[in-house]
Structure 1
Amino acid sequence: MDLLNPEYVTYWLIAVNFATFAAFGIDKAKAERGARRISEASLLQWAIMGGTPGAYAARHLFRHKTRKQPFSGNLQMIAVFQVAVAGLLIFLAVAR
């Protein structure tokens, strides 16, 4: 089983971005109710697993965690790292 098969990667990215988007939405709802929140570390872990687009979409839609530092900086570093890795993988695939 080739876990880096484009089909599996696509399914993973869809699932993890949906979960990340949902986690941000749930955290925003909890914040509005004054309930116990999802930790920033957990939200960043979802982004690290590939959910960065979902995180940015949720931040924009829910207006959540948009001004929090260092959270915003950490999310941006994750995004830059992921773009660099994706670029490297594409380069290596084309270079074959």
Structure 2
Amino acid sequence: MNKWLLLIISTAFLGVLLAAHLINLISPMVIAYILVMALIGYVVFYIDKRLAEQSEQRIPEHFLLLVAAAGGWIGASLAKVQLRHKTSKWSFQLAYYCAVLLNLILLYFVVWLF
């Protein structure tokens, strides 16, 4: 996926969350959770990139995907673009975007159906 498209989607998502919060559709706790998970997502991908550069033992891909699915995809997406990390392996890319989709579906159910 084009790196700019990934950044646009992440930014648009944050804009929708802010708008939903401003019209009282979403709890501040949900916003805080998403922002904390975004930070965690960025840090985990950053650490994995540094470990890769040093030829150290890496963070397992399933953990990276779990962080993305749990809401860290916004920060992870920023790290992927900024650090050029985890961008070439097709199987990881597919699983990553499935994790992002899963997170968006779960967020929809949590926010708008409950």
| TM-score of the two chains, using structure 1 as the length reference | 0.80
Please give the alpha-carbon distance, in whole angstroms, between the structure 1 residues aligned to 2:112 and 2:67.
26
Gaps of 5+ in 1: none
Q: 2:38 aligns with which of 3, 12, 17?
A: 17
Alignment of 1:6 with 2:6, yes or no, is no
Pair 1:40-2:61 in alignment: yes
Rounded to whole Å, the distance in 2 between the matches of 1:92 and 1:14 is: 21
1:81 aligns with 2:102: yes
Q: State the shift of 1:86 in Å.
A: 4.2
2: distance between equivalents of 1:87 and 1:11? 16
Measured on the aligned residues, the alpha-carbon RMSD in Å equals 1.9
State how many pairs are aligned. 89
Which structure has the larger Rg?
A: 1
Deviation of the 1:89 alpha carbon: 5.9
Cα deviation for residue 37 of structure 1 reads: 0.8
Mapped pair 1:52 → 2:73: yes
CA distance in 2, matches of 1:11, 1:56: 18
Structure 2: distance between partners of 1:89 and 1:8: 12
Please say if residues 70 and 103 of structure 2, whose CA atoms lie closer than 8 Å, have aligned partners that are also in contact.
Answer: no
TM-score (norm 2): 0.68
**Percent identity of paired positions between Structure 1 and Structure 2:** 28
Aligned to 1:71, which of 92, 95, 113?
Answer: 92
